[in-house]
Amino acid sequence: MRRVSLDNIQSGVILAKTVMTLEGRVLLASGTVLTEEYKKKLIANGITEIYIEDEISKGIHIPEVVREEIVTEAKRKIKLMMTNPSIKTSIDGQQVMEIVDSIITSLLSDKDIVANLSDIRSVDDYTFSHSVNVCILSLIIGIGFGYSIDQLKELGVGSILHDIGKVMIPGEILKKPVQLNNKEFEEIKKHTVYGYELLKKNKGITTLASYISLEHHERMDGSGYPHKLKGDDINKAARIVAVSDVYDALTTDRVYRKKLMSHEVIDYITALGSHHFDQEVVDVFIRFIAYYPVGMGVILNTGERGIVKEYNKKYPVRPVVRVVADAAGNMLSKQKDVDLSSELKYRIVEIWDV
């Protein structure tokens, strides 16, 4: 199985995962043969990528850090909650906690957590998918820190609601298909304060959640917003969410820009390190995030091309690669698996858009 862009895939391939809307409607079922009409249907629904299984990716299993049905249900419920007009005055804290509990339970059932986020999301549903993904990533960091169940619950509620203030932002700004101008960006920045005000008056939501909403765009060097806080003046949970927020945002296609690859964003976050982010949080984060996600096409220093087959947690930049093409780009009649952690003459030098 591998993940491909609809821009680069030809008709005739077989879908390996069902594509659904957040309302629970099936757009295309697993096993469907992709046609041009089906491609148009997916694109019309804001879907830009799909999972397929072909000869070069057959048998490659893309791990789920949280069970797919739990993620789908969480996003459905968050969308219903955030699109309900009552959200501007009250939030169902019990329902939020139930969503977070299900995610925590799924995460803790995996003894070897590695985030290889694999959801296919509509561009139009970005806010809801982003909220759940940031929650998952933040909880993984919390687990890495050894947080208790109660601490994880607090972090989970705050992270899944970190962008709740955006319900107060005009839709024409939130969904603008091009970069925002300065005035619009200043309005967007207010979502931190809006979220804080909304959450702090809801008795079913912890005080920590309101501070996560308020401070997740603050930066360690004081360059963030809304209050230009520095260092330890920023709540630790907000510092965790800050890293998760940036990672998920940059690895997601938006209407005004294409996503970056996982390794590019990890390098970006690492490079900024203690300037923008809590270095301790970054160090924990990169232990649990797939540098080269399973299913990604890569080019080796030999020129040979392959697909990441297995993640290597001890050596993130040296996964197991299924080599499927030679240096000239010719597909091999017999594929081979290369474990880069033991075959040191090999290394990944570039990403291959298979």
CATH architecture of the domain 2-52 equals Alpha-Beta Complex (3.90)
Using CA atoms, how far apart are residues 218 and 215, in angstroms rounded to an integer? 5
The closest alpha carbon to 16, from 71, 67, 65, 55, belongs to: 55
**Residues paired with residue 338 on neighbouring β-strands, in sequence order:** 321
Q: What is the pLDDT at residue 144?
A: 93
Predicted TM-score (pTM) of this structure: 0.90
Using CA atoms, how far apart are residues 303 and 327, in angstroms rounded to an integer? 4
Angle at 104 (CA atoms; ends 213, 25), nearest 5 degrees:
85
Which one-letter DSSP state was computed for residue 296? Answer: -
CA distances from 90 to 34, 127, 168, 204 (A): 43, 19, 13, 9
The closest alpha carbon to 2, from 12, 23, 16, 19, belongs to: 16
Cβ contacts of 202 within 8 Å, gap of 6 or more: 90, 91, 93
The closest alpha carbon to 315, from 351, 267, 337, 347, belongs to: 347
Q: What is the pLDDT at residue 117?
A: 58
pLDDT in tens, the chain (354 residues): 888 888 878 889 999 988 888 777 888 999 999 999 999 888 888 788 888 988 899 999 888 878 888 988 999 999 999 999 989 888 999 999 999 999 999 998 876 766 665 555 555 677 888 999 999 999 999 999 999 999 999 999 999 999 999 999 998 898 887 888 999 999 999 999 999 999 998 888 999 999 999 999 999 999 999 999 999 999 999 999 999 999 999 988 776 677 888 999 999 999 988 899 999 999 999 988 889 989 889 999 999 999 999 988 888 899 999 999 999 999 999 999 999 999 999 999 999 887
The closest alpha carbon to 348, from 308, 299, 312, 289, belongs to: 299
H runs (alpha helix) in 169-235: 171-174, 182-189, 191-200, 207-215
Residue type, 276: H
CA distances from 343 to 99, 327, 328 (A): 43, 18, 21
The closest alpha carbon to 75, from 85, 64, 83, belongs to: 83
Contact present, 135 and 103 (Cβ < 8 Å): yes
Q: What is the pLDDT at residue 78?
A: 94
Using CA atoms, how far apart are residues 306 and 326, in angstroms rounded to an integer? 9
What does the domain layout of the chain look like in residue ranges?
A: 2-52, 68-287, 297-351
CA distances from 341 to 23, 59, 237, 338 (A): 43, 21, 34, 9
- Torsion from C-alpha of 155, 171, 4, 283, nearest 10 degrees: -30
CATH architecture of the domain 68-287 equals Orthogonal Bundle (1.10)
Is 2-52's fold the same as 68-287's?
A: no
Contact present, 98 and 123 (Cβ < 8 Å): no
Q: What is the pLDDT at residue 89?
A: 86
Q: What is the pLDDT at residue 122?
A: 58
